[in-house]
A and B are shown apart, each in its own frame.
Chain A
């Protein structure tokens, strides 16, 4: 599996040579990993609690009622208060809080009024708070995680459908091709944004939030796979007429084997160069939908929702829009750089007139 063929090795080498793309890739990977374990550094739950000689690691476990730590309430412990209490009590008990001790849903105000607060190191609201005193950094981190996961899932789903149908069209040709082409022409003319808005507005809210996000994803995929088929179809047509396909046919290979074993690896370069741009598209789409209020259900943290709050409070709370906008720009720039680099490293001509 790790024996990459020389062609691929060459491409990877080229990719590494393109510094903006390569470092963007490393940064994005680091970002992805860090947001995947966001619970460890952005969380209202403590990392470690040492209470009466016993260690607790509440991050990923079930909730601990206050009574577990000698408090008089049965709901989830407020670990920030607990840390303070242990400190003033002065015993051996201690709490280790994450770097940002807030979760993206809780309202935490230092003034007793829920309103946007400017960034403050003292309160550990490093990017300030939003209109209901929720930590912006926490919402950004979890919002970015959802956006990235959403975009990656979206891309995979779109490609699986797009490749399968596009390749089949190119490979089988004839009536199958003709019918699907017409179908795709019609289907791709359905306005994507309106359909998402219409369909999502009739989804009952009795579903849990993850289910509703999955439905949103499905709807978006349903109206986005068509673009990919055109490229796959033409590429497959081209490859199909080559001798090695005829040879495979003569040897008795099945259609599935020919498509996925022989044709697909040869058209992969087209695919790979499109991937980052699909991700950019997906992130923009979900942000736009959130901005318009048709995206992820409240109170899910999201970039679009923050942007919306930011634009509504431009005069009074400029830090909301600044952080949301900066995050979005950073994210999209990274992915675009990677995309450019991938495209270039897959280009068979190293030196072209276009360089």
Chain B
């Protein structure tokens, strides 16, 4: 007893002492560890996954490709130099690229858009162009991709990139230290083997031969083994504010991190890929300065003062009202406005109906909701006709998208007849339908997108005409996502972002495995004891035995024609099931930029997602001074409002 009390006092005392120490001191890791041995033991414990061979074992009949026939990505007019000023909505919570809080709006600056994978999809031609790889070969029969690394490739701390960094990538992403279950699952199940032939040659094997199996391997980016020597249980804290060496052109210097205020990226002048085809003439700014400005209206004002160089004008209110063509800075030619029609799989904006909820489990109610939501009105009046109606949940995948299926149009009579079939025939005193038990036809329409809250009030007003009531719940982004991941929603408005992929994915969103644990019995009948599975992307709770069979077939298929056929049949089935009301898509992106920001002649790349994704823009520093001086003196230039519709 005495002992306990003594130790308790001691603990209190030490806590007190610790908290007296400087905050910086406490953050310093106490001991430096070296996990090389642990990593090697892990490799040894999984000999099937991690293999070591010699160059002599490399198959000789491989067809090596290097994408050299593709066109350059940047413009040869581009010049290097200058600082670009931009905004962040929030200060990054961490500089880690994996683990808690890492998947934020800052990650594109240190990972997605600025680091190199083995090879990338060419943003104009869709084929692969080399990044870290010098060449690669696909062996479909053995489901293996062979890669030769560019021997010049190096990390930003001048350590060369080798096959070991790719071996280590698997160790890293499979380990529980990183606290990232998605990565653990993906790297644990979607790859079967990595074989090292020498420092610059290796191969990776995947479970099934998909039409885009090259993408599965070539989109991988390595992890610097020398940097993660200290990877351990305290990874999340230890690496919280350490900048991971990058294979890309921009690094973050310690002095440029001003917590809560701003952060800057600096171009590495001797970047290894600076003269390589596909990489030259890109990443032109010497510095990218990002300040934290929370409110969008404030960002706009800052932009108008010239303290921020570019501002996204996707919203109609900004394009037409707040920065109209007769705005004095636009009319004087100081600010240019550009619209670019791109080709890219579209984010799935729509109403995700939770079909496991009472009433919503009724197909007639769901179809009635389709007919009672007036998206066309929203598009015409709120988006001013700029957007298009989305037709299915998988638009924009070329031949993989269903060609003839269209979304259901707003139709009060049809909505009423669907609702009548489900027993809702009488209108209550407020005009909302009630059934014989007195239940009102009322559902919660929730969303984590505050920017669209006005859309919901329009939908609510229109739905009331068809006797349907929406209770609107606008949440902040994180709680909205949590709600829908926990399957606590009735009807939720959201969009899943989609990458540049060959064909749509179905398993994540429509397979019963992601709706329930053991949804069906062996014979295909519904398992009465099934439990809702949370934290998965089947947010419509779609569970169909038939769908499952098609999805499994689709996942295992390596035949393109069969996959297209399956994709169409699945889209049809999903359409009939009616748990997703397709909303709209934006066929372009728009931006406003000061005169000194320059873009290539055609503005951007066909498959780009936003104006700065591929860093093909540059700054004309002389023009900046000229423009600012002209603005002061009242001189004007030719206004420029450009529409680039070559890919429309």
Contacts and interface: CB of A to CB of B under 8 A. Distances in A.
Chain A interface residue bracket vs B: 20 to 34
B381 A107 contact: yes
Contacts of B444: 205-206
A63 B473 contact: no
Given A115-B321, A293-B450, A315-B322, A107 B384 contact: no
A113 B416 CA distance: 27
Given A63-B429, A311-B297, A297 B458 contact: no
Contacts of B431: 63, 65, 75-76
Nearest to B440: A208
A107 B466 contact: no
B412 A73 contact: yes
A105 B430 contact: no
Nearest to A311: B297
A106 B430 CA distance: 15
A299 interface: yes
B382 A132 contact: yes
A200 to B, nearest CB: 11
Interface residues of B, number: 40
B457 A299 contact: yes
A59 interface: no
Given A113-B381, A205-B446, A105 B461 contact: yes
Nearest to B462: A107
Contact of B453 (A107, A206, A298, A316): A298
A12 interface: no
Contacts of B450: 293
Nearest to B443: A206
A68 to B, nearest CB: 12
A299 B317 CA distance: 20
Interface string A120-154: 00000000000110000000000000000000000
Interface in B470-494: 471-476, 479, 490
A293 B467 CA distance: 29
Contacts of B474: 293, 298
A316 B412 contact: no
A312 interface: yes
A131 B467 contact: no
A252 to B, nearest CB: 55
Contact of B427 (A65, A131, A293, A313): A65
A209 interface: yes
Chain B CB within 10 Å, residue with most, of A62, A74, A205, A297: A205
A114 B454 contact: yes
Contacts of B430: 62-63
A201 B477 CA distance: 12
A297 B472 contact: yes
A206 B416 CA distance: 24
A112 interface: yes
B146 interface: no
A209 B297 contact: no
A109 interface: yes
A273 to B, nearest CB: 39
Contacts of B464: 75-76
A74 to B, nearest CB: 7
Contacts of A115: 317, 320-321
A314 interface: yes
A131 B295 CA distance: 17
Contacts of A299: 456-457, 460, 472
Interface in A50-105: 62-63, 65, 73-76, 105
A114 B382 contact: yes
A298 B458 contact: no
Interface in A232-247: none
B457 A105 contact: yes
Given A107-B461, A131-B454, A298-B456, A114 B381 contact: yes
Contact of B381 (A74, A112, A208, A312): A112
A33 B381 CA distance: 37
Nearest to A299: B457
Contacts of A206: 444, 471, 490
B467 to A, nearest CB: 7
10 contacts: A62-B429, A75-B412, A75-B467, A76-B464, A115-B317, A132-B458, A209-B471, A298-B474, A311-B297, A316-B322
Which 4 A-B residue pairs are closest in the complex by CB-CB distance? Answer: A62-B429, A205-B473, A75-B465, A132-B454
Interface of A: 62-63, 65, 73-76, 105-107, 109, 112-116, 131-132, 201, 205-206, 208-209, 293, 297-299, 311-316
Given A74-B427, A105-B457, A299-B472, 14 more contacts: A65-B431, A75-B431, A109-B381, A132-B458, A201-B479, A205-B473, A206-B444, A293-B450, A293-B476, A298-B453, A299-B457, A312-B297, A314-B297, A316-B322
